């Protein structure tokens, strides 16, 4: 398991949670990522940096991200295997 990512934000700052299931992975199967960032543009940059570290192309785009509401408890299914 990867070590936790440390963001450069001050404690108590409200960043947002974003998901993306549309970037290109190693194989032509479903992919999913969760990113914590202020904006969808920042989320795309962070995810692309991580994809590049894994030997993948930088294919994440800001418009592919969906914001996860964090004002209440919630479960989000990113992929249920129904391709």
> In terms of C-beta density within 10 A (0-12 exposed, 13-18 middle, 19 or more buried), how is residue 19 classed?
middle
The region, left, alpha or beta by phi > 0 then psi within -120 to 50, assigned to residue 55 is: left
pLDDT (0 to 100) of residue 82: 80
Instruction: Say if residue 9's pLDDT is above 90.
Output: no
Instruction: Say if residue 3's pLDDT is above 60.
Output: no
Tell me the pLDDT tens digit for each residue of 59-75: 999 999 999 999 999 99
Query: What's the pTM?
Result: 0.80
């Amino acid at each position: 398991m990867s070590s936790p990512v440390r963001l450069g934000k001050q404690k108590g700052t409200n960043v947002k949670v974003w998901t993306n299931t549309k970037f290109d992975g190693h194989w032509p199967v479903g992919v999913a990522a969760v990113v914590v960032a202020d904006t969808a543009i920042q989320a795309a940059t962070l995810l692309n940096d991580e994809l590049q570290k894994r030997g993948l192309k930088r294919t994440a785009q800001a418009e592919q991200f969906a914001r996860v509401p964090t004002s209440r408890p919630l479960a989000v299914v990113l992929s249920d295997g129904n391709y």
